A and B are shown apart, each in its own frame.
Chain A
Amino acid sequence: MSDLVSQNLNMIFKTPKGETVHALKDLNFTLKKGELLTVLGPSGCGKTTLLNITAGFIKPTSGNITLNDKEIDGPGVERGMVFQQGALFEWLTVAENVNFGLRMKNEDPVKTQKKVDEWLEIVGLKGFGNTPTYQLSGGMQQRVALARCLINDPDLILMDEPLGALDALTREKMQSLVLKIWKETGKTIILITHSVEEALLLGERLYVMAPRPGRIHKEYNLPFASMGLKEDLREIKKNKEFSEKREEILEMIWNMEEEIMGKDN
């Protein structure tokens, strides 16, 4: 079984004032190999906490989460992560950034060179190998981040709002790229986003999370991601079912936000 399984996952933070924040409460889910999960929710619903626990950067207060039947305990190469701002290493070139993981494993530079070239071609950065990363645009930086993560051949890819900082046009292109990579590599992907459209377009499965305590509010199984592999993404957006789902989820999140505001007042 190469699934990601979460059982009764709880995460409780203590603020310096002594208040307790229930970031995640009794999270149970199973993600099968090759599935693409998008997670959506208002701020403070524990999306990023979930991702950080999955990545192994923080440990849950109780419950456990396993990947391929192995409990997650600290970061690992089998779980690659793509950050919102790319988090590239500016002192390295594009190729060196992509090569970083392999270099840390002391692999043969000649072999890794070939791999790096392959991945650069897949993400559409052929010929940019020697460019310093600080000369790249935001979209190109995210492509590098994707390639850097994928070259390690992880079982699970975690994406923390990877397209959040991009302009609309680049974002659309990158969404196609994510779908393309998902199809070609068959990786399991968890993608966190703020954009309802993006969550619908890319998510084979979609969790809408709710805050205080952080929990999975509703779960969807969606056809759009598989459609997106064949069709143009803009065509899908015109789809009636797509619009209905979008309105439904938007309303759901609006209600949650209002509830929070009401509580505050």
Chain B
Amino acid sequence: MLTQIVTFLIFFAVIGCILYGRRLIRTEKVDAVFGNPERARGGTHWVIVGSSFLLLIWLYYSWDIAKGFYPKSANELCQVAKVNDSLLGLKYQFPIEEREFKSTSQIKKENKNLQQILEEIQGSNELNAQQKTDLSNFIGKTNQLIPLLTNEDLLEIETKQKINDITGKINLLTENFQKPNYPFETEQEYNERKKAVDEEGGWGIVKVSAGTGSIENTIEVPLIPATKRGLKFDAAAQKLNLISDEFFKLRNHNPQFKFKIKELKNEIKSYRKELDSEDLASTYAKNIVKIARRIEFASIYPPNALDKMQDAIIKFDDAQKVAQGGLRLIDIFLFPAGTIVASGPSCSEQGSGRWLPKPSDTFNKFALMLKPSVGYKDIPLLWIDMVDVSKMIGFILPDWIADILPGEYPVHTKDGIVKQNFKGYVLKIVTGDFELFKVPVPYGHIWDSFMRVFLGLVFGIIIGVPLGLFMGLNRFAKGFFDPLIELYRPVPPLAWAPLIISVLGIDNTGKVFLLFMVSLSIMIISARAGASGTQLSKIHAAHSLGASKKQILRYVIFPNSLPEILTGIRVAVGMCWGTLVAAEFLAGTTGIGFVENVAKKYFQYEVIWITIFIMGMLGLLFDVTLRKIIDKTIPWRGKG
């Protein structure tokens, strides 16, 4: 529904904006030399056209337009695909989509093979004359098998009857298929099918409430026919499967053929017995018997024996194509770059619709994942948890406070009762083993990623800024710390990741430390640049106004370095964000990068796109926030 509205809106927006743009051009002054002087400005209307086209291409190639306008089409195409799949074997026997009869090409092929062996045998130096004669004899006999199969006069009545049977079944199917109420479903069958269809669900992710949020894949294309038209094809496909099986079980073996082939097999068998099994003649004999067997089991029929069956199949094929009706147009125009393919028991999207998730699916999945009870891998994307303040107190206070108190921890009495003492109570407090009021604390994948970047950045700022200022003002500090920083800074941060993760663990510590390393060098360099760039006259002025060295640092050098420091933070945020996602790819159990990595393993393209979207949005949010902060805190930047 939404997809339809969006598609229409896009159409009207594009047309409207183009018309507006055309009209605007007519009203603008045009410079004779330079063209339209306004052209560099672009315009919202062209922005709308551009983004609409992008969205339209996404909607179209992800087959979301097909899904929006014809939600049943995938299911129906799946049934059609089933029919095509069943029909494939039968059609293959006839020059319908092939150039030749299957029998003809088989005969051609085996004749060629026999000819090749004959030439090899006659040209061979290792075979003696007797062997050559024997083997040529076998080849001749094999060759003579073929006419026994293709001679219409030898075709048994029984086989003819069976071919007629099969042809009759196909014709009946065609006749029934063309009836509007085929496959004559009873009410009970109808109800059962409807129930199964409801259970199976629709195409893609339709029901937001469905799923537990774990990593199971939803069915791409529903298999059970949901519509009358689909049911028709499904039933026909099942029938065709039976017919096809029956045909391929049928063998055109008349008594003469049976006798001849048995004779040939026995002759070759006894011939090979006399020879050493590694003898070349034996190998040739074996190859000849292989060809004979292939001829035996290839469905080779006399040239006109299957004519009626071919007509029947073509008739059915035409009938099913007619029955597809508008579905064929939908398939051609709304399923670009691929289609629905049935293979064995399942149907799947093959083509751009597979890896390009439908916008509607993506948003539904996103809405689903946003639910705290669903999330991803049992962890919500972003939610709040009520945490008792005591836990935080226990986390902050070190446990050794209780240890250094005089006295002993309580020991249980012989009655099995533990009597608390003061030391015991203190231990309870420092370990957070008590109850206070609860406060909401956010958690989830997004929060985890955010916190890692935030903590890494904060630690980097806390240590980097003072150190950088110190290095900017002091030759010793500059010289002493420079090698240390220059040693690790040029290394791509991710190169450190395996080492740091294996030392500090895959959890937060390792990642925060990695991000701390990333932000530290950036903060040091920017703070250093800020400090060393302070004009001497400002320091002199402050000094002669009575400021002490400390005051100069606090009130002159620090604020003077702020533009550089804040720009450094902005750079560091970008770097940290990029590094974090890659680090979460490497190892971990939470975070946006982790979600994407898992989704990749399960081919959940929607989730991959969702994580890409979330990361883009968060990155943008960071940057916009920082830009706002920079504009607020250092309005003098570039103006002083």
Stretch at the interface among B328-336, B374-382, B539-547: B539-547
Known: A75-B543, A77-B546, A104-B551. A87 touches B636 (CB 8 A): no
Stretch at the interface among B75-83, B102-110, B228-236, B553-561: B553-561
Q: Does B442 contact A (CB under 8 A)?
A: no
A82-95 interface bits toward B, Cβ cutoff 8 Å, 1 = contact, 0 = none: 01110101110000
A114-134 interface bits toward B, Cβ cutoff 8 Å, 1 = contact, 0 = none: 000000000000000000111
A127-148 interface bits toward B, Cβ cutoff 8 Å, 1 = contact, 0 = none: 0000011100000000001001
A83 to B537, CA, bound (A): 7
Interchain CB contact (< 8 A) of B636 among A84, A101, A132: A132
A84 to B536, CA, bound (A): 12
Known: A90-B640, A132-B635. A104 touches B541 (CB 8 A): no
A39 to B542, CA, bound (A): 24
Interchain CB contact (< 8 A) of A55 among B540, B556, B639: B540
Closest partner residue, chain A, to B639 (CB atom): A134
A115 to B601, CA, bound (A): 71
Whether the pair A55, B544 counts as a contact (CB closer than 8 A) is: yes
Closest partner residue, chain B, to A105 (CB atom): B546
Interface magnitude class on chain B: 20 to 34
Whether the pair B541, A83 counts as a contact (CB closer than 8 A) is: yes
Interchain CB contact (< 8 A) of B545 among A56, A85, A91, A152: A152
Q: Does A190 contact B (CB under 8 A)?
A: no
Which residues of A are found within 8 Å of B559, using beta-carbon distances? 89, 91
8 Å CB contacts to A: which residues of B518-546? 535, 537-538, 540-546
Query: In the assembled complex, how far is the CB of residue A208 from the closest CB belonging to chain B, in whole angstroms?
Result: 26
Query: In the assembled complex, how far is the CB of residue A132 from the closest CB belonging to chain B, in whole angstroms?
Result: 6
Whether the pair B540, A89 counts as a contact (CB closer than 8 A) is: no
Interchain CB contact (< 8 A) of A100 among B545, B548, B635: B545
Closest partner residue, chain B, to A82 (CB atom): B541
Closest partner residue, chain B, to A77 (CB atom): B546
Q: Does A149 contact B (CB under 8 A)?
A: yes
Which residues of A are found within 8 Å of B545, using beta-carbon distances? 77, 80, 100-101, 104, 148-149, 152
Query: In the assembled complex, how far is the CB of residue B579 from the closest CB belonging to chain A, in whole angstroms?
Result: 32
Interchain CB contact (< 8 A) of A80 among B544, B551, B640: B544
Whether the pair A91, B636 counts as a contact (CB closer than 8 A) is: yes
Closest partner residue, chain A, to B542 (CB atom): A100
11 inter-chain pairs at a CB distance below 8 angstroms, sorted by A residue, are A57-B543, A75-B544, A81-B541, A87-B541, A91-B562, A100-B555, A101-B545, A132-B636, A145-B541, A149-B544, A149-B545
Which A residues are within 8 Å of any B CB, using their own CB?
A: 55-57, 75-77, 79-81, 83-85, 87, 89-91, 100-101, 104-105, 132-134, 145, 148-149, 152
Given known contacts A75-B540, A75-B543, what 19 new A-B pairs fall within 8 Å (CB)? A55-B544, A57-B543, A76-B546, A77-B546, A83-B537, A83-B540, A83-B541, A84-B537, A87-B538, A87-B540, A89-B559, A90-B640, A91-B559, A91-B636, A100-B542, A104-B547, A104-B548, A104-B551, A152-B546
